[in-house]
Amino acid sequence: MVKRNTNMAKLTAGYLFPEINRRKREYLQKNPSAKIISLGIGNTTEPLTPHVVEGLRKEVDRLSTREGYSGYGDEQGITEFRAQLAEKLYGGLIKGDEVFISDGAKCDIARLQTMFGSEVTMAVQDPSYPVYVDGSVISGVTGYYNDARCQFDNIVYMKCCLENDFFPDLSSQQRTDLIYFCSPNNPTGAVASKKQLSELVEFARKNRSIIIFDSAYSEYISDPSLPKSIYEIEGAREVAIEVSSFSKPIGFTGVRLGWTVVPDQLKFDDGTPVRNDWNRIMTTLFNGASNIAQHGGMAALEAAGLAEMRSLITYYMDNAKIIKQALDRKGIKSCGGINAPYVWAHFPGRKSWEVFTEILEKCQIVTTPGAGFGPAGEGFIRFSAFGHREDFIEAVKRLEIL
Ligand code: PLP
């Protein structure tokens, strides 16, 4: 028999979303006629938009001819696409050859974890997207388990709560090699200001740490004063990698397309450019993003595609408004849902799995319990703005009885 990877056994409980689905299935077995509305998982629901579909279709057509067919492409992505992305989404703050196109942000996070290896220490916002911690644990970033804190000592949680405006108190934060930071944030919907991100960059520079900045929801920012990219902050090019995605802005959750930016100036302590190792990882462990998906991505960056992106985002953000207003009417305080597609609702003094169960049983609505994103998520419920409008209209009626 093969010995089990001991890191797998170190993972706490099941991954959050399979656990939510398990509870939903269990409820349905007992209540087979229930019409459940899911406002839980951040999966997109609206169809691909026409101009983007045209881009995908044209590439399928090209591939179906002998002259047009191509097999593997460059592992880093289509050169023209990388350049367009740098120009259209980053306004030239980065160069095309610093962009590495991929099959999505989640996969890139896992590959970054492979690149940094098991010897690093890391900090993560608490609460946060589970992949930063779980992926790190799988790749062996743990150290000793601290029974008193119920945490691994190489993984530091940076508490983000109402009291600190969902931005960690860096003055009391210990140094770590890596700092995972997500803005707009999943799950809290908080968006870090320029001043806050400047503090973070300064902190990383002082400590010679590397920030892994997840901007998967950056296109949901409508307030022009809020930074969409870490590279809007002076000095970030020497300390930050940015991971991002076409999943949420243009509905590519199933198509699969994302990217990672590794600036030339970012170096390991021995002076090796991080970009070189990332290139090695991508050429070794990845065979390039789908050529069809990349052409869809290129169409999304054209004027018509960008307009479709805006209207898709407006659609989801109107859903967020509907939920926020319903919570307001019930006197339930919430944050997020303004420049991010997540509404973070507060149920002070209550356990979030208990509130999850109550909402499921009374309203037949699936939400996401805040505790699933980290200890500081306790007492919160995440409502996702991804869903059909009619489901939101029905959901808010049902929430009245809470
Ligand atoms: N980063 C964050 C913060 C997310 O919430 C998600 C998906 O929910 C991802 C990354 C995954 O993106 P992708 O679909 O590109 O793998």
Predicted confidence (pLDDT) per residue in 53-89, tens digit = 999 999 999 999 999 999 999 999 999 999 999 999 9
Residue nearest to atom 5 of ligand 1 (CA): 186
Both tokens of 11, joined, read: 């993972």
Is the CB of residue 105 below 6 angstroms from any atom belonging to ligand 1? Answer: yes
Domains of the chain: 6-47+305-399 (3.90.1150.10), 52-302 (3.40.640.10)
Which atom of ligand 1 approaches the CA of 258 most closely? 15
Is the CB of residue 186 below 6 angstroms from any atom belonging to ligand 1? Answer: yes
SS3 (DSSP) at 145: strand
Is the CB of residue 215 below 6 angstroms from any atom belonging to ligand 1? Answer: no
Question: Cα–Cα distance between 245 and 259 in angstroms, integer?
Answer: 6
Q: Could you tell me the pTM of the whole model?
A: 0.97
Is the CB of residue 336 below 6 angstroms from any atom belonging to ligand 1? Answer: no
Question: What is the enclosing helix (H) or strand (E) of 243?
Answer: strand 240-245
Residue 388 pLDDT more than 90? yes
What is the reported pLDDT for 18?
Answer: 83
What is the reported pLDDT for 13?
Answer: 61
Both tokens of 344, joined, read: 């973070």
Residue 189 · residue 226 · CB < 8 Å? no
Question: Cα–Cα distance between 208 and 205 in angstroms, integer?
Answer: 5
Both tokens of 110, joined, read: 């896992």
Which atom of ligand 1 approaches the CA of 257 most closely? 15
What is the reported pLDDT for 179?
Answer: 98
- Strand partners for 243: 214, 260
